[in-house]
């Protein structure tokens, strides 16, 4: 995914209609900006996705524990809800 984003960014910069921008801004500065963006995508995005998955599974576990502590009669509506939620 990061390669596709990098290729899209590079294409947009290299095919920009503003030629003065590329003449004024050194290529090293543009490359440095790309490197920083790819670093953020590779490191920060990965951590955030892991955190979202962890929180999602924690919430699911807590919901299951609450249902089992309230009573087993709520297990059937839970399965019905999950089946309906998966189709929509």
How far is the C-alpha of 88 from the C-alpha of 79, rounded, in Å?
14
pLDDT at 82: 85
pLDDT at 65: 84
Q: Give how many domains the chain has, as a whole number.
A: 1
The mean pLDDT of 71-86, rounded to a whole number, is 82
pLDDT at 56: 95
Nearest by Cα to 40 from 88, 10, 6, 66: 6
Concatenated DSSP letters of 33-48: HHHHHHHHHHHHHHHH
pLDDT tens per residue across span 1-57: 777 887 887 787 777 776 666 677 776 777 677 777 777 778 888 888 889 999 999
Q: Determine the number of helices (DSSP H) and then strands (DSSP E) in the chain.
A: 4, 0
What is the residue range of 14's domain? Answer: 2-87
- Whether pLDDT at 58 is above 90: yes
pLDDT at 18: 66
| Residue 4 burial (CB count, 10 A) | 8
How far is the C-alpha of 87 from the C-alpha of 76, rounded, in Å?
17
pTM, to two decimals: 0.45
- Whether pLDDT at 76 is above 70: yes
């Amino acid at each position: 995914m990061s390669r596709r984003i990098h290729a899209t960014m590079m294409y947009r910069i290299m095919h920009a209609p503003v030629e003065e921008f590329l003449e004024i801004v050194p290529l090293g500065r543009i490359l440095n900006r790309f490197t920083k963006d790819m670093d953020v995508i590779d490191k920060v995005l990965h951590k955030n996705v892991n955190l979202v998955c962890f929180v999602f599974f924690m919430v699911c576990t807590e919901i299951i524990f609450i249902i089992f502590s309230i009573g087993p009669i709520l297990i059937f509506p839970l399965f019905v809800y999950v089946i309906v939620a998966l189709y929509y």
